[in-house]
């Protein structure tokens, strides 16, 4: 299949564009959570969306995507704010705060899912698609919605760039400046929730975590500035999305026999590992070379010192 | 696995299985939470998938439990090792390292399933959710439920580990430098702990699924640590929380006709919330009396 086929075919174009958009948004916004050492908040939000998705289904009785995503977004946001509250009001650390909220929320979600299943409603079958994601089912409408949500999330981040940056690196200074630090933290978490909601449908609950983390880890290797990292992470995320969808679809044009979400995640991980190895200055190889050089110089120095 | 006539009460088998899992997980989970490695249990539960597929492949497609468990445990250890490798390179923080490793392994597992076994019923759902309601129907040695033997064995091993190495665990968790100075390796003890976490996760998979394993590893210890700062008391509270959530959760699940594991996890969440409120009230009282004193 040639690249032209992709752009010409309606279905393939939607899948490719949708995956790339997801990568762009998740990669950019994931930078904040990785730098805040809350990388796994994406995992938490993705799991915690389940009860909201079930509740939305029970309320509306349909499998309308927007309603389900809205419900998922609300419960994902509630869980992430709860995790932030636990961090603030107890001695527990990030890992425990995130772990407690997502396992409790996900447990309730599973209970609701089984209860719905026993109701014998045929539409329920589609609900668990949200757990594993299905890029092959993306339509042009989804892509447009992704673009709108993504623009909203990225636009907010761009608008509040300075405030978010200072809150991230120097919260004490931000507090002295009189900025609402907890509100800003909550806002950047809410943006992450938006990114997760975009990704849930494409790559699923478990794999969503990777789309927030891997591009940011890769980007960190190449740059020392926040804006550079944000841009690069977005670009690498988009590249992983396009690669994943492209590879997945070309290996199996039957649409869906090779899960594009999983291929996307592996592409993002491969980019991260490659960056860790070969990036100049911070890369593992660069480190080895540097160490060799220093050792050689020290040896030379001690030899000449002995002769003198 | 013939459905032999069961000499044991149905409800009892399920609740005791849940309590065994709760205790086996809680004993290790308390130290995981204290070492800030709580999410390791979640990671292992996901990255075990390629191991399960590999076990399935090696045995030529029979859905035997043992090879799948061995494969899953191996991949649990791979997760631990890769995360440690990434973290120790100094280029990635521990949380991001974990978040890099387990989705990649899970993705590899998903691809392996869909390429080779898309027509076979290798049930992803069963791996993730488990079905504790089936434990009474699967009996093994002495007519005891298989779940009891497997998880009871793991509980015994974990209890011995924590009991015999309590001092060492405590010291290497709270003061790894002193531990090293005193001549025992905190890395070795940490590695042994994570190995047991991997084995316990996998052993409990089959009976209760990943959701409940992760919930039991993290939530009761976190609840206990909200209520006390003493390690022994925290251990006792962890076991108590697991026991009560299993019993209450099972009764509630029957009443609601919903997933047993899901409801138990929900009850654990409620317990945690109550403990958080108690702690908040206590903190306010302390602050209030400090203000009076000042």
Measure B143 CA to nearest chain A CA, in Å. Answer: 30
Distance CA A284, CA B89 (A): 8
Chain A residues with beta carbon closer than 8 angstroms to that of B128: 131
In a domain, B170, yes or no: yes
Angle between helices B10-34 and B260-293 (to 10 degrees): 40
CATH number, position B199: 1.10.3470.10
- Nearest neighbour of B265 by CB, restricted to A104, A128, A262: A104
With CB atoms and an 8 Å threshold, state whether A266 touches B108: yes
Q: Which residues contact A287 (CB under 8 A, 6 or more apart)?
A: none
| Chain B residue with the nearest C-alpha to that of A283 | B91
In order, the DSSP letters of A72-125 are HHHHHHHHHHHHHHHHHHSS--HHHHHHHHHHHHHHHHHHHHHHHHHTT-GGGG
Ranges of beta strands (E only) in B111-207 are: none
Contacting A residues, span 242-261, partner chain B, CB-CB under 8 Å: 257-259, 261
With CB atoms and an 8 Å threshold, state whether B269 touches A105: yes
pLDDT, one tens digit per residue, over B133-183 is: 766 666 666 667 777 778 888 999 999 999 998 888 888 888 888 888 887
With CB atoms and an 8 Å threshold, state whether A217 touches B92: yes
Distance CA B39, CA A110 (A): 20
Distance CA A252, CA A65 (A): 26
- Nearest neighbour of B96 by CB, restricted to A92, A97, A213: A213
Indicate the domain borders of chain A.
3-307
Region for residue B93 given its phi and psi (left: phi exceeds 0; alpha: psi -120 to 50; beta: otherwise): beta
| Chain B residue with the nearest C-alpha to that of A214 | B100
Distance CA B191, CA B28 (A): 12
Complex-level ipTM beyond the 0.90 threshold: no
| Chain B residue with the nearest C-alpha to that of A262 | B107
**pLDDT given at position A122:** 44
In a domain, B219, yes or no: no
Partner B contacted by A21 (CB < 8 A): no
Number of domains into which chain B is organized: 1
Partner B contacted by A103 (CB < 8 A): yes
Measure B221 CA to nearest chain A CA, in Å. Answer: 9
DSSP character at residue B135: G
In a domain, B244, yes or no: no
Query: In terms of residue numbers, what domain contains B136?
Result: 10-213
Q: pLDDT digit of tens for each residue in chain A (308 aa)?
A: 565 666 667 778 888 888 999 999 999 999 999 998 888 898 899 889 989 988 998 888 776 777 888 899 999 999 999 998 998 888 898 899 999 998 999 989 988 888 877 665 544 556 666 666 677 777 888 888 889 989 999 999 999 888 889 888 888 999 998 889 888 888 888 999 988 888 887 788 778 889 999 999 999 999 999 999 999 999 999 999 999 888 887 775 444 467 888 899 999 999 999 999 998 888 889 889 999 999 999 888 777 665 54
| Chain B residue with the nearest C-alpha to that of A92 | B222
Contacting A residues, span 24-63, partner chain B, CB-CB under 8 Å: 34, 37-40, 42-43
Q: Does domain A3-307 have CATH number 1.10.3470.10?
A: yes
Residue B251's alpha-carbon distances to A203, B176, B216, B256, B259, in angstroms, are 36, 43, 18, 9, 11
pLDDT, one tens digit per residue, over A60-78 is: 877 677 788 889 999 999 9
Contact present, A136 and A15 (Cβ < 8 Å): yes
Question: Per 3-state DSSP, what percentage of chain B is helix, strand, and coil (rounded to 5)?
Answer: 80, 0, 15
Contact present, B73 and B202 (Cβ < 8 Å): yes
Number of Cβ pairs closer than 8 Å across A and B?
200
Structure tokens at A176: 């002295």
Nearest of A118, A48, A126, A101 to residue B258 by alpha carbon: A118
Measure A138 CA to nearest chain B CA, in Å. Answer: 19
In a domain, B95, yes or no: yes
Partner A contacted by B230 (CB < 8 A): no
Measure B278 CA to nearest chain A CA, in Å. Answer: 11
């Amino acid at each position: 299949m040639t690249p032209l086929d992709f752009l010409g075919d309606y279905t393939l174009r939607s899948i490719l564009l949708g995956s790339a958009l997801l990568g762009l948004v998740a990669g950019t916004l994931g930078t904040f959570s990785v730098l805040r050492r809350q990388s796994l908040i994406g995992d938490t939000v993705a799991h915690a969306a389940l009860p909201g998705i079930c509740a939305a289904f029970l309320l509306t009785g349909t499998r309308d995507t927007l309603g389900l995503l809205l419900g998922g977004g609300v419960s994902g946001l509630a869980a992430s704010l709860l995790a932030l509250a636990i961090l603030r009001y107890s001695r527990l650390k990030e890992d425990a705060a995130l772990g407690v909220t997502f396992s409790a929320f996900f447990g309730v979600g599973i209970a609701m899912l089984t209860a719905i299943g026993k109701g014998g409603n045929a539409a329920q079958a589609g609900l668990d698609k949200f757990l594993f994601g299905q890029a092959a089912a993306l339509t042009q409408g989804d892509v447009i919605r992704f673009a709108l949500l993504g623009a909203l999330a990225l636009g907010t981040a761009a608008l509040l760039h300075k405030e978010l940056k200072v809150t991230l690196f120097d919260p004490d200074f931000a507090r002295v400046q009189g900025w609402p630090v907890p509100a800003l933290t909550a806002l950047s978490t809410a943006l992450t929730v938006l990114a997760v909601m975009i990704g849930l449908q494409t790559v699923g609950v478990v794999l969503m975590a990777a789309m927030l983390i891997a591009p940011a880890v890769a980007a960190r290797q190449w740059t020392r500035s926040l804006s550079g990292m944000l841009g690069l992470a977005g670009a690498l995320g988009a590249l992983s999305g396009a690669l994943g969808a492209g590879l997945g679809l070309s290996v199996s044009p039957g649409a869906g026999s090779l899960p594009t979400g999983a291929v996307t995640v592996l592409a993002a991980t491969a980019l991260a590992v490659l960056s860790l190895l070969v990036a100049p200055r911070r890369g593992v190889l660069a480190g080895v070379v540097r160490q060799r050089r220093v050792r050689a110089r020290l040896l030379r120095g001690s030899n000449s010192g002995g002769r003198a | 696995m013939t459905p032999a006539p069961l000499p044991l009460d149905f409800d009892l088998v399920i609740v005791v299985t849940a309590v065994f899992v709760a205790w086996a997980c809680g004993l290790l989970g308390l130290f995981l939470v204290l070492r800030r490695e709580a999410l390791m249990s979640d990671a292992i539960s996901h990255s075990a998938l390629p191991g399960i597929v590999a076990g399935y492949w090696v045995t030529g497609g029979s859905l035997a439990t043992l090879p799948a468990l061995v494969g899953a445990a191996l991949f649990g250890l791979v997760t631990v090792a890769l995360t440690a490798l990434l973290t120790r390179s100094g280029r990635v923080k521990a949380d991001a390292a974990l978040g890099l490793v387990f989705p990649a392994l899970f993705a590899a597992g998903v691809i392996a399933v869909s390429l080779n076994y898309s027509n076979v019923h290798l049930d992803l759902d069963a791996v993730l959710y488990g079905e504790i309601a089936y434990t009474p129907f699967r009996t093994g040695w002495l007519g005891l439920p298989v779940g009891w033997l497997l998880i009871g064995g793991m509980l015994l091993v974990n209890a011995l580990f924590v009991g015999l190495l309590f001092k060492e665990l405590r010291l290497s968790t709270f003061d790894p430098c002193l531990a090293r100075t005193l001549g025992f390796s905190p890395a070795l003890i940490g590695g042994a702990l994570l190995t047991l976490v991997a084995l316990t996760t996998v052993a409990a998979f089959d009976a209760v699924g990943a959701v409940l394993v992760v919930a039991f590893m993290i939530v009761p210890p976190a609840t206990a640590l909200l209520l006390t700062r003493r390690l022994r008391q925290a251990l006792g509270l962890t076991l108590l929380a697991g026991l009560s959530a299993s019993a209450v959760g099972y009764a509630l699940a029957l009443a609601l006709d919903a997933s047993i594991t899901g409801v138990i996890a929900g009850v654990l969440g409620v317990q945690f919330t109550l403990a958080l409120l108690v702690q908040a009230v206590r903190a306010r009282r302390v602050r209030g009396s400090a203000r009076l004193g000042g």
